[in-house]
């Protein structure tokens, strides 16, 4: 068994027992990267020096008897959306090529303080807009489970790196499913916490009212441990919730006896891959065997979530991305004549087509004459979607559903059909719109060994329960222990 096959907490135990050092673990990750990343292409850049220095410091702390956290010394990767001081951060875009941030995002500071070496920055769909990682300006990432397929997006690099055991865990972001869908495509656990649970300071903004940071790892316990390190209020983020985080691992083994789990009829739709549908339904039934009660619920406005999302997210994005204008940082078209041309050329050359498409859409939705019909109306429908969940959660403690209508699709399959790409998010979008927590859990495989994920949605700030529900299923099978054949 390779060192890199260990889970985060398994490694942490060995570090604590002195059986292995963080430097060894970090070197093992770097070796693994050298071995497989040529095929996976999860990494945009490595920080070998920084990671090893952090690993050394971690080993020293352990020697002195004062580890900084339960995951001190466990190497991880970060989606290139998190600003890392002194380490290039591109957000998967050409417009930020060469950008060296002068500050760390809050979550990066927290992880550094907790002692986790950061191996490098991970590939992503440009500006987090995408569901396949094909939208990266630096080339797509390949799914370690099938290299001709996508690992999902936009946190595709994070998912692939963890699944390929290049790092032990990673952080991603999720605006419409960008943690949960890649987790499902790569057999990982991923969680998008409640909106406001994790600081967004220093996380490049896509859609401010939807973006959330979350952990991705191979086990539920790992995910809980990583979540614990970053779940706190941040005075630098005005949308950060003033709610204390509980101990996420305290009652992890508590099981689901007596819980009511909702099964929303609108989430089992026509056109789903039959293997995905069957596997998810099996997982749902398993919960009944584990002692939960299944309740049929309805979330009637589900079918409007896609349209709502694809008006609101681009609208906010069109404003958030206005700062990429070539004035203070980022790509500037040096051949431009005059300011106006500089703006236009810098942005046209610096942004990829999906980003431009969404900026156009968002600008249109906010523009004079269309604001009420598009933006305001979408915000109202958003309220209806939220109310659907509020009503459902009066009857149930959590909701189970598929994550994606299909397993990992082939690279290039949807590249020229934006709308069909957008449909990948139908099950994951609603929870972002409602600001609720959502977790992705391995629940089986297709005949061709492609992972399938189960989604668990919860009430605001109920992450601990979601993790407990996930663990109850995880310990009954070996899905999480299966490794990508790479």
Partner 1 sequence: MKLTIEQVRHVASLARLSLTPEEEQRYATQLDAVLDAVAQLQELDVSGVEPTSHATLASSLLREDVTRPSLPPEKGLANAPAKMGTSFAVPKIIE
Partner 2 sequence: MPLSDFQPVIGLEVHSQLLTKSKIFCGCSTEFGAEPNRNTCPVCLGMPGVLPVLNQRVVEFAVRTGLALGCTIKKTSIWSRKNYFYPDLPKGYQITQYDQPICEWGKLTIDMPEGEKIIRIRRIHMEEDAGKNVHDASVGESLVDLNRAGVPLLEIVTEPDLRSADEAVEYLKALRDVLVYLGVNDGNMEEGSFRCDANVSVMRKGETQYGQRVELKNINSFRFIKQAIEYEIGRHVEVLESGGKIDQETRLWDTQRGESRSMRSKEEAHDYRYFPEPDLPPLHVSDALIEQMAQGLPELPRPKFQRFLSQYGLPAYDAKLLCAERPLAEFFEACAQHSKDYKKLSNWFQGELARLLNESGGAVTISTLKFTPGQLAELLTAVEKGTLSNNAAKDVLGEMFRTGKAPDAIIAEKGLAQVSDAGAVEAVVDEVLAKNAGEVEKYRAGKKQIFGFFVGQVMKAMKGKGNPTLVNDLLKSKLGD
Contacts to partner 2 by CB under 8 A: 83, 89, 91, 96, 99, 101-103, 105, 200-205, 208-209, 235-239, 315-316, 318-319, 321-325, 327-329, 339, 343, 363, 366-368, 371, 375
Catalytic residue among 21, 69, 79, 132: 79
Q: What are phi and psi of 171, to 5 degrees?
A: -105, 140
Cβ–Cβ < 8 Å for 441, 454: yes
The partner in contact with residue 22, picked from partner 1, partner 2, none with C-beta cut-offs of 5 to 8 angstroms by kind, is none
| 131 part of the active site | no
How far does CA 335 lie from the centroid of its chain?
A: 38
Calpha distance 354→256 (Å, rounded):
42
- The residue among 209 and 477 lying less far from partner 1, judged by its C-beta, is 209
In 3D space, the residue among 188, 163, 218 whose CA is nearest the CA of residue 10 turns out to be: 218
Cβ–Cβ < 8 Å for 71, 54: no
Cβ–Cβ < 8 Å for 173, 156: no
Q: Shortest gap between Cβ of 224 and partner 1 (angstroms)?
A: 22
Vertex 360: Cα angle to 329 and 335 (nearest 5) = 40
- The residue among 162 and 305 lying less far from partner 1, judged by its C-beta, is 305
Q: Shortest gap between Cβ of 437 and partner 1 (angstroms)?
A: 13
Cβ–Cβ < 8 Å for 162, 77: yes
| 238 part of the active site | no
Q: Shortest gap between Cβ of 237 and partner 2 (angstroms)?
A: 5
- The residue among 171 and 184 lying less far from partner 2, judged by its C-beta, is 171
Structure token pair of residue 93: 């875009």
The partner in contact with residue 381, picked from partner 2, partner 1, none with C-beta cut-offs of 5 to 8 angstroms by kind, is partner 1
Catalytic residue among 136, 178, 199, 346: 178
Please tell me whether residue 3 adopts helix, strand or coil conformation.
helix
Catalytic residue among 154, 155, 240, 404: 154
The partner in contact with residue 35, picked from partner 2, partner 1, none with C-beta cut-offs of 5 to 8 angstroms by kind, is none
How far does CA 333 lie from the centroid of its chain?
A: 32
Cα dist. 45→122, 193, 299, 393 in Å? Answer: 7, 27, 42, 43
Please tell me whether residue 471 adopts helix, strand or coil conformation.
helix
Q: Shortest gap between Cβ of 98 and partner 1 (angstroms)?
A: 8
Q: Shortest gap between Cβ of 383 and partner 1 (angstroms)?
A: 5
The partner in contact with residue 107, picked from partner 2, partner 1, none with C-beta cut-offs of 5 to 8 angstroms by kind, is none
| 105 part of the active site | no
Q: Shortest gap between Cβ of 213 and partner 1 (angstroms)?
A: 14
- The residue among 35 and 379 lying less far from partner 1, judged by its C-beta, is 379
The partner in contact with residue 195, picked from partner 2, partner 1, none with C-beta cut-offs of 5 to 8 angstroms by kind, is partner 1
- The residue among 180 and 200 lying less far from partner 2, judged by its C-beta, is 200
Calpha distance 224→303 (Å, rounded):
31
Cα dist. 104→112, 240, 428 in Å? Answer: 10, 17, 29
The partner in contact with residue 315, picked from partner 1, partner 2, none with C-beta cut-offs of 5 to 8 angstroms by kind, is partner 2
- The residue among 136 and 240 lying less far from partner 1, judged by its C-beta, is 240
Report the catalytic residues.
Answer: 79, 154, 178
């Amino acid at each position: 068994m390779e060192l890199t096959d260990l889970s985060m907490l398994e490694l942490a135990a060995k570090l604590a027992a002195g059986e292995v050092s963080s430097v060894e673990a970090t070197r093992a990750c770097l070796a693994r990267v050298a071995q497989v990343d040529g095929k996976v292409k999860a990494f945009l850049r490595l920080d070998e020096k920084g990671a090893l220095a952090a690993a050394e410091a971690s080993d020293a702390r352990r020697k002195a008897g004062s580890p900084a956290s339960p995951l001190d010394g466990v190497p991880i990767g970060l989606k290139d959306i998190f600003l890392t001081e002194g380490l290039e951060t591109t957000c998967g875009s050409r417009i930020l090529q060469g950008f060296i941030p002068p500050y760390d995002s809050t979550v990066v500071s927290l992880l550094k303080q907790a002692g986790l070496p950061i191996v490098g920055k991970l590939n992503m769909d440009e500006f987090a807009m995408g569901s396949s990682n094909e939208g990266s300006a630096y080339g797509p990432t390949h799914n370690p489970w099938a290299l001709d397929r996508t690992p999902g997006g936009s946190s595709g690099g994070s998912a692939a790196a963890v699944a390929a055991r290049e790092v032990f865990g990673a952080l991603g972001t999720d605006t419409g499913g960008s943690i949960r869908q890649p987790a499902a495509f790569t057999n990982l656990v991923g969680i998008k916490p409640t909106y406001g649970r994790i600081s967004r300071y220093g996380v490049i903004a896509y859609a401010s009212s939807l973006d959330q940071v979350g952990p991705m790892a191979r086990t539920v316990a790992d995910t809980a441990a990583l979540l614990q390190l970053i779940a706190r209020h941040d005075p630098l983020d005005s949308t950060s919730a003033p709610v204390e985080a509980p101990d996420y691992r305290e009652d992890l083994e508590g099981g689901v006896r007596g819980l009511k789990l909702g099964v929303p009829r609108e989430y089992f739709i026509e056109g789903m891959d039959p293997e995905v549908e069957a596997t998810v339904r099996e997982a749902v039934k398993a919960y009944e065997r584990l002692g939960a009660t299944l309740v049929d619920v309805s979330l009637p406005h589900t079918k409007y979530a896609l349209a709502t999302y694809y008006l609101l997210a681009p609208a906010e994005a069109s404003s958030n991305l206005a700062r990429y204008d070539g004035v203070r940082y980022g790509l500037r078209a040096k051949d431009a004549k005059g300011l106006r041309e500089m703006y236009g050329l810098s942005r046209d050359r610096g942004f990829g087509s999906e980003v431009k498409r969404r900026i156009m859409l968002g600008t249109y939705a906010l523009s004079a004459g269309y604001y009420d019909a598009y933006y305001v109306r979408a915000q109202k429908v958003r309220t209806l979607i939220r109310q659907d969940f509020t009503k459902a959660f009066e009857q149930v403690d959590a909701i189970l559903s598929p994550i994606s209508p299909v397993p990992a699709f082939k690279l290039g399959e949807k590249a020229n059909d934006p709308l069909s790409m957008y449909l990948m998010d139908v099950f994951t979008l609603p929870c972002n719109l409602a600001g609720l927590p959502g977790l992705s859990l391995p629940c089986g495989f297709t005949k061709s060994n492609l992972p399938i994920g189960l989604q668990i949605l919860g009430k605001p700030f109920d992450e601990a329960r979601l993790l407990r529900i996930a663990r109850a299923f995880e310990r009954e099978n070996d899905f999480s222990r299966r490794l990508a054949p790479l």
